[in-house]
Chain A
Amino acid sequence: MAEAMLAADGTPLKRSLARALRRQKLRALALIAPLLLFVLITFIVPIASMLFRSVENEIVANTLPYTVEALADWDATGTDLPSDATFEAMFYDMFIAAEAKRHTRLGTRLNYETTGVSSLFRQSGRRMDDVADISYEPLEDLDKAWDDGATWYALFNASGDADQALLSEQRGRVARLSGSDASADINFAPDAQAAALLPLAAREYTAWAVYVATQDNRDPAERDPWEAVAPALVTDLQTADLSGYSGPMADMLRTAQQANLTVPNFTREFADMDEDWATLEPWQTIQTHAGTYTPGYFLNAIDAQKTPEGIAWQPEEKQILLTLFGRTIWMSLLITFSCIALGYPIAWLLANLPMRKANVLLILVLLPFWTSLLVRTSAWKVMLQQQGVINDVLVWVGLVADDGRLIMINNQFGTIVAMTHILLPFMILPMYSVMQTIPPSYLRAAKSLGATNWTAFWRVYFPQSVPGIGAGSILVFILSIGYYITPEIVGGTKGVFISNRIAYHISSSLNWGLAAALGTILLAAVLVLYWAYDKIVGIDNVKLG
């Protein structure tokens, strides 16, 4: 049969089959498309973005581009401070960051790594103007015209060739700094001649012009530039050769050059601002975390950190997360085992009762689902607290002295009790549905073969119910490992889970990178456990019904 089979109309059978199947597949795809999109948008995308956020670290390079560049060759493990050029770059980066109010954000980011950086940045940001004034005021004294924005605009706005490279470079700088678009048309282009002659001043003026035009929607021609242009200009004038310059403000420039104004000593100024700038630590932090992507958040998540010397443990008092991970897993295991112990007999009873009675009991099992999780958890608070129902009864019965009331809440015990109760249906239902499929004749057969009730159960019934236990355990364990509300309400400080820490970093400390790293580790842990379960028990052995 070398010849291809043909369909009735003469087309090859394979092709007509493929066509028929394709239509079916398209229809199936169309049916699941809404769900697929929903899952994609609400599940895959957030998870991917979370994974990304846990390694993303553009803020350092975006906020301090020139500093990062200048620090690149600095030996962070040595004893020398970075070069003066680094301090100078830091000044210009910091100045524009402070104007854009981005320096506090960076401070917060770096404060995750080194405590104190946040306040250092915040306080220093305010002092940038003072440093700029060291050059600005003498310049102004020299000629009132320097105080006029029009002078600067005339100096740097292109009268001849425009330096488009500089412009687009500064557009990029502003865009990255502010995190918003900076490509709008502006009424300014740096003059190529001025930019060649006065590179630093042209750079800073262009950055300012782009910023006011794109972020503040002002015309740079009508505004006064930031004071930072002054130290930049003075710096440029020290080396500039004005002899051939015939562009705008040539005389003013020559006068300023002859006045030999002083450039601020940035290194000293920063040290005066805050003595921490004269230490290695802030610089080490900046250099270590300059990369666009960082393992820093993940290291933080396991109580470690990145240092110039490599990876090191966090100081003792900051090590809480590994303990928390361990506690989360340990308590989740305890909760899972409590659920198995409590749920197995109930599932067995349900599976062996007549249908009608089983349905009534099943409703009782499902009843908790109809009550708000918050209400159920709060009810446990009422039950377990020291003046609560259980303690009252114990005292009344005389089992516990009035002054020796048991502490059953705001600790691990409270969390385990409440979560076992809440997650129990997730254990019972899969066990029940598996047990339902085990015919009673197996137990009868075992007994007729001479097995006692216990042997019949343990050797014959139990092994067959294991898939149900497996399914229930995976469900309960995975749910509890990421549980948040119940530990938050009844857990106190000793009974909280890693998810409570994630929530804290999301909503209070705003360290989303760390939160994302913690979440990613949690996700990975669940996947690893799932994989391990598959290897040990076999995922085919999991039955949900």
Chain B
Amino acid sequence: MADTATDQAFVEFERVQKSYDGEILVVKDLNLSMPKGEFLTMLGPSGSGKTTCLMMLAGFETATHGEIKLDGRPINNIPPHKRGIGMVFQNYALFPHMTVAENLSFPLEVRKIGKSEREEKVMRALGMVQMQDFAGRRPAQLSGGQQQRIALSRALVFEPELVLMDEPLGALDKQLRETLQFEITNLAHDLGITTVYVTHDQTEALTMSDRVAVFDDGRIQQLAPPDELYEEPQNSFVAQFIGENNTLMGTVSKINGDRCEVTLDGGEIIDAKPVNVSEVGQRTRVSIRPERVEMNKERLQPDVHTLRAEVLEFIYMGDIFRTRLRVAGNDDFVIKTRNAPDQVRLTPGTQIEIGWLPQDCRALDA
């Protein structure tokens, strides 16, 4: 599941394990390799080990086992201040007793850079986030979004090649978050910096990243570009964690290459694409995205199985309609349809027939 190390890997985790108490492994056998310039997001529920990984990379935690390499050099024994990694924290961590300019100047001062050069770099870094006018303010006089911009430019001012971001937008409101997501990705790509971004917000992960590593239970469950992650989840955790998802339980009854038939617990038969199943008789959890469910029989392939469904609820959401159905004993089966002029609005109690393209329905681990 994890990427294999490549020659041009810039950041590498090799069989990294981490335990805090000697009993439970928070990070279990982590292997990860990032090329230079990549924007990689670590996504996962809290306690999944993603922040621990970030802290090990930054040097604030030591790996219990395994090796972390930066640009080919093992950095396990290098203290954080010598790693030269920029970092943006969730609570911004701007030093409250210093002005914005002093905050930005701090990493340059400790690097013993001359005053004039310092000032020039500080103004340039502030310029990158359009905050030149705020150089003399204290962090407390800035809004959350402004603080995060400053924190970002502080992490970039000493021109690190790797920047780590620990849920940097977690405390901001939705609109600001979206603006900043855009700004951060643009900046990262323009400057060519390698970025490791930690978040538990899947939208953020999908919109910003080159690749997303989905963490759960101390392991990377899937490492893939956003579209692949959404459309081709490798296991039921990823399928359920990323986006909205309908699941049905059943048993594989027939396998034929990249198509299989699954007999649901109620006896209905559906078509699916085998992903985590390999033989007949295996228990499986099939997963189908709400927007891939089709109600119009004419658009389905003639030979596919269909299911009967009863409309339980119709929710008007503006751009889309969300219809909740009872399908094969599952009351939470949701379909999403676009608010198109010819789209019917289903009333509760209506009996309909639904189906899907076999490749959109993935038979995953139970």
Contact = CB atoms under 8 A, between A and B. Distances in A.
Interface string B102-132: 0000110011000000000000000000000
B106 A448 contact: no
Contact of B85 (A442, A448, A464): A448
B110 A451 contact: yes
Given A439-B91, A451-B110, A444 B60 contact: yes
Contacts of B107: 449-451
B344 to A, nearest CB: 51
A447 B81 contact: yes
Contacts of B58: 444, 448
B87 A448 contact: yes
B84 interface: yes
Interface string B57-93: 0111000000000000000000111111111011101
Nearest to A439: B91
Contact of B93 (A439, A450, A451, A452): A439
B269 to A, nearest CB: 55
A460 interface: yes
Given A449-B158, A450-B81, A444 B93 contact: yes
Given A441-B91, A444-B60, A444-B80, A449 B96 contact: no
A456 B60 CA distance: 14
A455 interface: yes
A181 B164 CA distance: 86
B69 to A, nearest CB: 18
Interface in A455-469: 455-456, 459-460, 463-464
Contacts of A439: 91, 93
Interface residues of B, number: 27
Contacts of A394: none
B126 to A, nearest CB: 16
Given A444-B60, A444-B80, A464-B97, A449 B106 contact: yes
A72 interface: no
A451 B106 contact: yes
Contacts of A464: 95-97
A50 interface: no
Contacts of A463: 97
Contacts of A446: 95, 106
A79 to B, nearest CB: 69
Interface string B231-250: 00000000000000000000
Which of the listed residues B82, B106, B158, B164 has the most CB atoms from chain A within 10 Å of its own CB? B106
A445 interface: yes
B95 A452 contact: no
A452 B107 CA distance: 11
A464 B79 CA distance: 24
B154 interface: yes
Contacts of B90: 441
A447 B55 CA distance: 12
Interface in B214-258: none
B95 A442 contact: yes
Contact of B89 (A441, A451, A459, A460): A441
Contact of B158 (A442, A444, A450, A459): A450
Interface string B30-51: 0000000000000000000000
Contacts of A451: 81, 106-107, 110
A447 B93 contact: no
Given A450-B110, A450-B158, A445 B81 contact: no
A445 B88 CA distance: 8
A459 B98 CA distance: 10
B285 to A, nearest CB: 39
Given A444-B58, A459-B106, A464-B97, A452 B91 contact: no
A459 B96 CA distance: 11
Given A439-B91, A459-B106, A448 B81 contact: yes
A329 B183 CA distance: 58
A450 B84 contact: yes
Given A444-B58, A445-B87, A452 B81 contact: yes
A441 B55 CA distance: 11
A444 B87 contact: yes
Contacts of B85: 448
A460 to B, nearest CB: 5
Contacts of A456: 81
Nearest to B97: A463
A336 B175 CA distance: 51
Interface in A26-40: none
A455 B95 contact: no
Contacts of B97: 463-464
Contacts of B95: 442, 445-446, 460, 464
Contact of A455 (B87, B91, B110, B164): B110
B96 A447 contact: no
Contacts of B81: 447-453, 456
B110 A449 contact: yes
A448 B91 contact: no
A357 to B, nearest CB: 14
B196 to A, nearest CB: 13
Contacts of A453: 81
A503 to B, nearest CB: 43
B165 to A, nearest CB: 11
A464 B96 CA distance: 8
A469 to B, nearest CB: 14
Contacts of B110: 449-452, 455
B52 to A, nearest CB: 14
B93 A445 contact: yes
A448 B83 CA distance: 8
A536 B58 CA distance: 39
A380 to B, nearest CB: 39
A456 to B, nearest CB: 8
Given A449-B107, A449-B110, A442 B80 contact: no
Contacts of B111: 450
A445 B98 CA distance: 14
A205 B45 CA distance: 103
Contacts of A449: 81, 86-87, 106-107, 110, 154-155, 158
A447 B80 contact: yes
A462 to B, nearest CB: 10
Contacts of A452: 81, 110
Interface string B143-162: 00000000000110010000
A456 B59 CA distance: 15
A346 B164 CA distance: 33
Nearest to B106: A449
Nearest to A455: B110
Nearest to B157: A449
B93 A441 contact: yes
Contacts of A442: 93, 95
A114 to B, nearest CB: 58
A463 B98 CA distance: 10
B86 A448 contact: yes
Which of the listed residues A447, A450, A463 has the most CB atoms from chain B within 10 Å of its own CB? A450
27 contacts: A439-B91, A439-B93, A441-B89, A441-B91, A442-B93, A444-B58, A444-B93, A445-B89, A446-B106, A447-B59, A447-B81, A448-B58, A448-B59, A448-B83, A449-B110, A449-B155, A450-B81, A450-B82, A450-B107, A450-B111, A450-B158, A451-B107, A451-B110, A452-B110, A455-B110, A460-B95, A464-B95
Nearest 5 A-B pairs (CB), nearest first? Answer: A449-B107, A445-B93, A448-B87, A447-B80, A441-B93
Given A449-B87, A450-B110, A464-B96, 7 more contacts: A444-B89, A447-B80, A448-B80, A448-B85, A449-B110, A451-B106, A452-B81
Interface of A: 439, 441-442, 444-453, 455-456, 459-460, 463-464
Interface of B: 58-60, 79-87, 89-91, 93, 95-97, 106-107, 110-111, 154-155, 158, 164
